[in-house]
Amino acid sequence: MRANDIALLILRLTAAIVLWPHGAQKALGLFGGPGIAGTVAGLSGHFGLPVVLVYLVIAIEFLGPIALVLGVLTRLAALGIAIDMAAAAFLVHLPNGFFMNFTGTQKGEGIEYFIYAVGIALALVIAGSGRIAVLPKT
């Protein structure tokens, strides 16, 4: 086991731990989320996304982190996450500026979280899962 493999595991777990609760909100209604029906209604109604795209977002945010934890289809899961997070940043959060809304004085959250998420995901797209995985990169 090399340091790179440990670093990739840390990146995979970090992305999964942060993103999975958002997916669980959308897919299962956990953590105060709307569940599938509410997510489909909200994203297709409020943002005008095609329903099939909303289901893809739910799958990426719920199943993608599970794939990252296992190190299965890491590059594909990470690519989906990178696209999903970049789209959320530009379509929803960019008008709110750069910073997160820690003070509660902004209209909503800025894009700084999404920069981290996209950066981690792109690193995983490039490097893959590493050797600490169900399907290790050799």
Domain assignment of residue 135, yes or no:
no
**Which has the closest alpha carbon to 79: 128, 133, 38?**
128
User: Average pLDDT of each block of 10 consecutive residues along the chain (138 residues)?
Assistant: 93 98 98 97 92 97 98 97 96 92 88 96 96 80
**Residue 137 has what pLDDT?**
65
**Residue 84 has what pLDDT?**
97
Report residue 31: phi and psi, to 5°: 55, 35
Domain range for 34 is 3-127
**Residue 103 has what pLDDT?**
86
Instruction: Give the total number of structural domains in the chain.
Output: 1
**Residue 104 has what pLDDT?**
85
Domain assignment of residue 132, yes or no:
no
DSSP state of 115: H
CB atoms within 10 A of CB 109: 18
Domain assignment of residue 46, yes or no:
yes
